[in-house]
């Protein structure tokens, strides 16, 4: 195994560390022994180990050049009413990668449920103490809002759900301290995905100009305003004041109604036994644009549109929207997503695809 430890254990959960990971960035895992062993075999960790072996023989090689480094696209600065945030310092084009980071701390999904508060505190303290000083400092610089134990508060406030490619027990939570600098917007200009290899990627969903704040969405953007604001208040301790949440009441109500309509139409055209005219597809695309969801949340709907145009025998439109869906999938969900595979299959031979003329 690539790990040091276990450094401390309670129940089935133990602390493992790799302080020399990624050029000294380090990583800590709090999980079951079998999971720690499986995580150590992920390419991002196993290739790092291979690089160490090469370098010990005097051969300079790095498999993770583009991970855990940030291009000079932004700066951290004070944002009125939000604390510290990220602002673009140069033009960023749609689809451009902004960050790619591995987590500093990974904890098992049942860590909170299965251990007492005291046991959680002790394992987290053992873990944070095993990180290199520079990484520990950036972890501890993150904000918390509950007033609980400092490290637990940081983990609960800033961690992301992640599913690693290690079998049935890959569901964990990861803390990516650099990523936590993004503030929230219900209609973001940046999206993220976490691949099965531990890496958190963020990409621009539209062209961004210098001086614009970079933001991701912390909540489900398809929920109505009251639900989004309640979630932000309960989970992160702030009331969302993004442009969508700050609309005057009549416009906010109209937005909520459009979100409900999106839900209805999307379910309709996603039902292969339902009967409807192609105009319903155009309505759905229009609703996404009106709600400004077409920039950050378009992969799924564009794929559904492509399949439905193919089902109506409209091959040219099916190809057009399959290509748009493929681009959006790569940005929003990554090259390994099911949506990418689905659209590649459709583009290969639309008339031989299972959806061809299915609605005729």
Containing domain of residue 336, as a range? 249-352
| pLDDT band with cut points at 50, 70 and 90 for residue 41 | confident
Q: Domain total for the chain?
A: 2
Q: What is the pLDDT of residues 213-233, one digit of tens each?
A: 999 999 999 999 999 999 999
Task: Tell me, yes or no, whether 3 lies in a domain.
Answer: no
Output 57 or 128, whichever has higher pLDDT.
128
Cβ 321 vs Cβ 308: under 8 Å: no
207/79 same-domain check: yes
Q: For residue 67, which phi and psi values (nearest 5 degrees)?
A: -105, 140
Average pLDDT over residues 123-130: 96
| pLDDT band with cut points at 50, 70 and 90 for residue 59 | very low
| pLDDT band with cut points at 50, 70 and 90 for residue 53 | very low
* pLDDT reported for residue 169: 84
Task: Tell me, yes or no, whether 227 lies in a domain.
Answer: no
Least confident of 98-107, 144-153, 253-262: 144-153
135/54 same-domain check: yes
Task: Tell me, yes or no, whether 357 lies in a domain.
Answer: no
56/177 same-domain check: yes
The CATH number that applies at residue 17 is: 2.170.270.10
Query: Sign (positive/negative) of CA torsion 314, 317, 319, 324?
Result: negative
* pLDDT reported for residue 64: 42
Least confident of 140-144, 146-150, 195-199: 146-150
186/329 same-domain check: no
Instruction: Return the HEC string of the chain.
Output: CCCECCCCEECCEEEEECCCHHHHCCCEEEECHHHHHHHCCCHHHHHHHHHHHHHHCCCCCCCCCCCCCCCCCEEEEEECCCEEEEEECCCECCCCEEEEECCCEEEECCHHHHCCHHHHHHHHHHHHCCCCHHHHHHHHCCCCCCCCCHHHHHHHHHCEEEECCCCCCCEEEEECCCHHHCEECCCCCEEEEECCCCCEEEEECCCECCCCEEEECCCCCCCCHHHHHHHHHHHHCCCCCCCCCCCCHHHHHHHHHHHHHHHHHHHHHCCCCCCCCCHHHHHHHHHHHHCCCCCCCCHHHHHHHHHHHHHCCCHHHHHHHHHHHHHHHHHHCCCCCHHHHHHHHHHHCHHHCCCCCCCC
* pLDDT reported for residue 47: 54
Q: Hey, how many other C-beta atoms are within 10 angstroms of the C-beta on 98? A: 24
The yes-or-no verdict on residue 323 having pLDDT over 70 is yes
* pLDDT reported for residue 1: 55
The yes-or-no verdict on residue 164 having pLDDT over 90 is no
187/275 same-domain check: no
Task: Tell me, yes or no, whether 4 lies in a domain.
Answer: no
Task: Tell me, yes or no, whether 283 lies in a domain.
Answer: yes
Looking up tokens 């055209």 gives: 269
Cβ 187 vs Cβ 255: under 8 Å: no
Last residue of a domain, one of 161, 195, 216: 216
70/122 same-domain check: yes
191/254 same-domain check: no
Q: Which residues pair with 88 in a beta bridge?
A: 74
Q: Which residues pair with 14 in a beta bridge?
A: 9, 31
* pLDDT reported for residue 55: 46
Output 146 or 165, whichever has higher pLDDT.
165
Q: What is the mean pLDDT of the chain?
A: 91
Q: Which of 54, 36, 58 is nearest to 45 (CA)?
A: 36
Task: Tell me, yes or no, whether 238 lies in a domain.
Answer: no
* pLDDT reported for residue 146: 75
Average pLDDT over residues 139-160: 90
Average pLDDT over residues 297-321: 97
The yes-or-no verdict on residue 5 having pLDDT over 80 is yes
Average pLDDT over residues 71-88: 90
Residue 347 Cα to chain centre, angstroms: 27
293/175 same-domain check: no
pTM higher than the cut 0.85: yes
Q: Hey, how many other C-beta atoms are within 10 angstroms of the C-beta on 96? A: 16
* pLDDT reported for residue 303: 98
* pLDDT reported for residue 54: 38
Residues 6+ apart with CB under 8 A from 253: none
Task: Tell me, yes or no, whether 328 lies in a domain.
Answer: yes
Task: Tell me, yes or no, whether 173 lies in a domain.
Answer: yes
186/265 same-domain check: no
Least confident of 8-12, 71-75, 206-210, 336-340: 71-75
Cβ 193 vs Cβ 201: under 8 Å: yes
33/168 same-domain check: yes
157/256 same-domain check: no
Cβ 98 vs Cβ 192: under 8 Å: no
100/20 same-domain check: yes
Cβ 195 vs Cβ 174: under 8 Å: no
């Amino acid at each position: 195994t690539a790990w040091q430890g276990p450094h401390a254990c309670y129940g089935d959960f133990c602390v493992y560390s790799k302080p020399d990971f990624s050029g000294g960035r380090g990583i800590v895992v709090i999980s079951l022994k079998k999971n720690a062993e499986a995580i150590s075999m992920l390419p991002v960790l196993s290739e790092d180990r291979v690089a160490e072996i090469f370098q010990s023989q005097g051969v300079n090689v790095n498999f993770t050049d583009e991970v855990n480094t940030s291009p000079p696209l932004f700066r951290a600065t004070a944002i009125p009413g939000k604390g510290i945030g990220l602002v673009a310092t140069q033009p960023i084009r749609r689809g451009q990668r902004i960050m790619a980071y591995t987590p500093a701390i990974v904890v098992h999904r049942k860590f909170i449920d299965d251990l007492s508060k005291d046991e959680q505190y002790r394992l987290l303290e053992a873990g944070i103490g095993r990180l290199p000083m520079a990484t520990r400092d950036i972890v501890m610089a993150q904000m918390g809002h509950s007033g609980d134990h400092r490290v637990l508060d940081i983990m609960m406030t800033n961690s992301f759900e992640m599913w690693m490619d290690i079998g049935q027990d890959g569901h964990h939570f990861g803390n990516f301290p650099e990523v936590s600098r993004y503030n929230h917007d219900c209609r973001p200009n940046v999206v993220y995905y976490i691949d099965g290899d531990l890496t958190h990627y963020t990409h621009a969903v539209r062209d961004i100009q210098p001086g614009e704040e970079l933001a991701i969405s912390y909540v489900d953007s398809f929920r109505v305003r009251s639900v989004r604001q309640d979630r932000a208040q309960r989970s992160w301790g702030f009331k969302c004041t993004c442009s969508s949440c700050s609309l005057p009441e009549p416009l906010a109500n109209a937005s909520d109604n459009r979100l409900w309509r999106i839900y209805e139409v999307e379910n309709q055209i996603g039902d292969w036994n339902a009967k409807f005219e192609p105009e319903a597809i155009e309505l759905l695309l229009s609703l996404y644009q009106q709600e400004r969801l077409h920039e950050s949340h378009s992969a799924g709907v564009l794929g559904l549109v492509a399949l439905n145009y193919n089902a109506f025998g409209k091959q040219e439109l099916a190809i057009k929207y399959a290509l748009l869906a493929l681009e959006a999938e790569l940005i929003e969900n990554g090259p390994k997503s099911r949506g990418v595979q689905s659209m590649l299959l459709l583009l290969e031979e639309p008339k031989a695809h299972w959806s061809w003329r299915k609605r005729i």
